[in-house]
Amino acid sequence: MLIQIAEVFTPEEAAEIRRRLDAADWVDGKVTAGYQSAEVKRNRQLPEQHPLAQELGNLILQRLAGNNLFMSAALPRKIFPPLFNRYEGGEAFGYHVDNAVRGITGTAERVRTDLSATLFFSEPDSYDGGELVIDDTYGPRAVKLPAGHMVLYPGTSLHKVNPVTRGARVSSFFWMQSLVREDSQRALLLEMDVAIQRLNQDAAGHASIVQLTGVYHNLLRRWADV
């Protein structure tokens, strides 16, 4: 299931974040790659402990905590602190699958990567290439969103970033451990949640809303990993 989260940041906010990131010092992106990923990864990254990375990462988490679509789609239990990367001059990241479990630097905390996220900070027309290509049941799907928009997709997905041949692609990327491990179950819960919200708008007070809400929570109770 691929979910687009629109306007986590407004265009103006995304442009200001991009300006600050452009002025930062970047390092080789292989610092956070696993063995297999390092073979196909060519980009740059803001160091995990960089003050700007931590400041902007906290800002991203604050925004997402108030985003109903994100919370309903991800049902997050743990979120890996957001990282930031940059592609330009032909840099790319070949096909790979993200590590199943990632440790948070400086802590004993580990996050199972049920979901992956990419939050774009470059406008699509400012660079050529750089599409995030995700393989799913319908085949490869290319994603290139406006600055401030985010895509959420299963951590089990085979994916890549195409070479950037003009301009620079700057984004944040991170992972979530969901309360519900299985993507198919999360998809059903999201579909039901959206339907309940629409019923509340179109037929407020209808007895079926209470019944469906009960079914939603009983399914979540059955599937939740807490």
Please indicate if the annotation marks 98 as binding a ligand. Answer: yes
Please indicate if the annotation marks 206 as binding a ligand. Answer: no
Please indicate if the annotation marks 50 as binding a ligand. Answer: no
* Cα dihedral value 34, 4, 18, 80, nearest 10: -40
The pLDDT value given to residue 138: 82
Domain range list for the chain = 3-178, 183-223
Locate 182 and state its tokens: 């299985």
Per-block mean pLDDT, blocks of 10 residues, the chain (226 long): 96 98 91 66 92 97 97 98 97 94 94 98 98 92 98 96 98 98 96 94 88 96 94
CATH topology of domain 183-223: DNA Excision Repair, Uvrb; Chain A (4.10.860)
**May I ask the CATH class of domain 3-178?**
mainly beta
Alpha helices in the chain (DSSP H): 11-22, 35-38, 51-65, 68-74, 183-202, 207-223
3-178 and 183-223 have identical folds:
no
pTM of the entire predicted model: 0.93
Please indicate if the annotation marks 96 as binding a ligand. Answer: yes
Map tokens 């309903």 to a residue.
Answer: 72
The pLDDT value given to residue 173: 98
The pLDDT value given to residue 166: 98
